[in-house]
Amino acid sequence: MLLKKLSDVSKTEMQKLLSRGSGLEDVEKMVSAVLLDVRTKGDAALREYTAKFDKVELENFEVSEEEFEKALSSISPELLNHLKSAAENIRAFHEAQLPETTWFMELKPGIVLGQKATPLESVGAYAPGGRASYPSTVLMTVIPARVAGVEQVIVCTPPRQDGSIHPLTLTAAKIAGADKVFKLGGVQAIGAMAYGTETVPKVDKIVGPGNVFVTSAKMQIRGVAEIDFPAGPSEVLIIADESADAVMVASDIIAQAEHDPSAVSILITCSDTLAEGVKREVLAQAEQAARSSIVKASLENAAILTADSLEQCIDFSNRFAPEHLEIMVSEPDFVLDKIKNAGSIFIGNYAPVPVGDYASGTNHVLPTSGYAKLYSGLNINHFIKYSSIQKISKSGLESLKETIIALAEEEGLQAHADAIRTRFGYKPCK
């Protein structure tokens, strides 16, 4: 874990912090080979790679209705209620994002412009597995798609070693409204949804987070299916001042670190006292963590930085463009106003990242590795396309005629200009 004054961080150290070492280049060729096999061999390739990577031999990938029923019956009523409560909050937040379906405006007499919002026809949601199951990710990806009106939503998630899917993940898929769930993980799952196989339907768009292999696969299939954004190993950046509690800050760093050995956790503060206190707490809590080995590996990517001013903290945060940004300062609105790049923002000592991970209703599928500079976190607009509309009368066109003709002819597109003239008596063929 790096503990340094911001001004003393070397160029090499800064580059490592900002780049996060995504590793996409290292896996590109291998991922490309798997995708090619899935595209050309279909289900046969899926069986081959599921056996190779997940150590499971499956004849059927699609989860049966009996498996859904068995999963539901195995979950306690209390846990089921918690899952439904989280789903309700996620649904409510995303319903608030819904755009007006169709709208019009009169630009001037005879010229009416508008826009029509149409949901995508099919979406594939990827929910990671491996080190943990993520029913929360199923809720976060499927519910917004359903709220947006997507016709078909499927889920792919890695099978466990006995060939099953975690009961809570299957139940989450039912509650969220998924049409089908497939026992598929990794690159082969992304390829199956992108290209379609004998079993898995092709989709228009793939959403959801994953490891470096999944992220690389998503980036490579964009010619045949759209994606949400690169969403790789998780990260948090915390801006805190002397008003923050060292135990709370450290617990948030540990919570992020337990995700994955590649997860990144950074604290930047103007308080040397807080920095030292957080370091002590992080090291102590790491020893007691349930996933201690993962936490300790992840802390190799962690940093505690001290700055000379809150403005320096803000500037570093905007350069870093974190997936999760926690603001734990006495005047949070001052900081919030100056934040330009962040996937999801958590304000106050009682708004740790797990709030958004599970139950507040905001989406936890977010851009990582600095992509928050370019992309928004998953939201309703990821599942909707927009068509512009023009209703033009003859008088309306007449008011635009000279402008269109002049610009078309300047670009050398005579037929464009003639398409306007013909509506006012001009005949191209005499």
Which residues, in sequence order, are CB contacts of 412 under 8 Å at separation 6+? none
pLDDT digits (tens, 9 = 90+) for 263-285: 999 999 999 999 999 999 999 99
- Cα separation, 285 vs 279, whole angstroms: 10
Looking at the domain assignment, is residue 267 inside a domain?
A: yes
Count other C-beta atoms under 10 Å from residue 94's C-beta. Answer: 23
pLDDT of residue 131: 60
Same domain, 252 and 263: yes
Going by the annotation, the residues of the binding site are 126, 188, 211, 234, 256, 259, 324, 357, 411, 416
**Which tokens is 187 given?**
């690159």
Q: Is the pLDDT of residue 130 over 70?
A: no
pLDDT of residue 231: 82
Looking at the domain assignment, is residue 387 inside a domain?
A: no
Looking at the domain assignment, is residue 376 inside a domain?
A: no
- Cα separation, 227 vs 341, whole angstroms: 20
Same domain, 56 and 15: no
Q: Is the pLDDT of residue 183 over 90?
A: yes
**Residue finishing a domain among 318, 338, 361:** 361
- Cα separation, 390 vs 210, whole angstroms: 41
Higher pLDDT, 21 or 121: 121
- Cα separation, 141 vs 126, whole angstroms: 8
| Residue 387 half-sphere exposure toward CB, CA atoms < 13 A | 9
Average pLDDT over residues 30-57: 96
The band of 25, judged by pLDDT with boundaries at 50, 70 and 90, is confident
Q: The tokens 């929910």 sit on which residue?
A: 127
The band of 22, judged by pLDDT with boundaries at 50, 70 and 90, is low
Residues of the domain holding 82: 24-231
Same domain, 61 and 200: yes
- Which residue numbers are catalytic? 323-324
Same domain, 253 and 302: yes
Q: Is the pLDDT of residue 83 over 70?
A: yes
Strand positions, DSSP E, 220-320: 226-227, 235-240, 264-269, 303-306
Looking at the domain assignment, is residue 386 inside a domain?
A: no
Backbone phi and psi for residue 110, each to the nearest 5 degrees, phi listed first:
85, 0
Same domain, 411 and 337: no
Going by the annotation, the residues of the binding site for NAD(+) are 126, 188, 211
Same domain, 355 and 253: yes
- Cα separation, 286 vs 256, whole angstroms: 12
Same domain, 244 and 331: yes
Cβ atoms 321, 370 nearer than 8 A: yes
Among residues of the chain, what percentage have pLDDT more than 90? 91
**Residue finishing a domain among 346, 361, 376:** 361
Same domain, 187 and 126: yes
Looking at the domain assignment, is residue 382 inside a domain?
A: no
Q: Is the pLDDT of residue 44 over 70?
A: yes
Q: Is the pLDDT of residue 186 over 80?
A: yes
Looking at the domain assignment, is residue 367 inside a domain?
A: no
Same domain, 225 and 248: no
Average pLDDT over residues 327-331: 97
Buried/exposed code over 155-175 (b: 16+ C-beta within 10 A; e: otherwise): bbbbbbeeebbbbbbbbbbbb
Cβ atoms 241, 328 nearer than 8 A: yes
Q: Which amino acid is at 303?
A: A
Same domain, 425 and 398: yes
- CA 94 vs. chain centroid, Å, equals 14
CATH code of 259's domain: 3.40.50.1980
What is residue 258's DSSP assignment? T
Going by the annotation, the residues of the binding site for substrate are 234, 256, 259, 324, 357, 411, 416
Q: Is the pLDDT of residue 334 over 80?
A: yes
Same domain, 187 and 328: no
pLDDT of residue 23: 77
Looking at the domain assignment, is residue 372 inside a domain?
A: no
Cβ atoms 173, 181 nearer than 8 A: yes
Same domain, 178 and 324: no
Looking at the domain assignment, is residue 366 inside a domain?
A: no
pLDDT of residue 428: 83
**Which tokens is 89 given?**
């909050």
The band of 297, judged by pLDDT with boundaries at 50, 70 and 90, is very high
pLDDT digits (tens, 9 = 90+) for 187-243: 999 999 999 999 999 999 999 998 889 999 999 999 999 999 988 788 999 999 999
Among residues of the chain, what percentage have pLDDT more than 70? 99
- Cα separation, 201 vs 393, whole angstroms: 44
Strand positions, DSSP E, 322-381: 324-328, 344-347
**Residue finishing a domain among 307, 341, 361:** 361
Q: How many domains does one find in the chain?
A: 3
Cβ atoms 205, 123 nearer than 8 A: yes
Mean pLDDT of the residues in the chain = 95
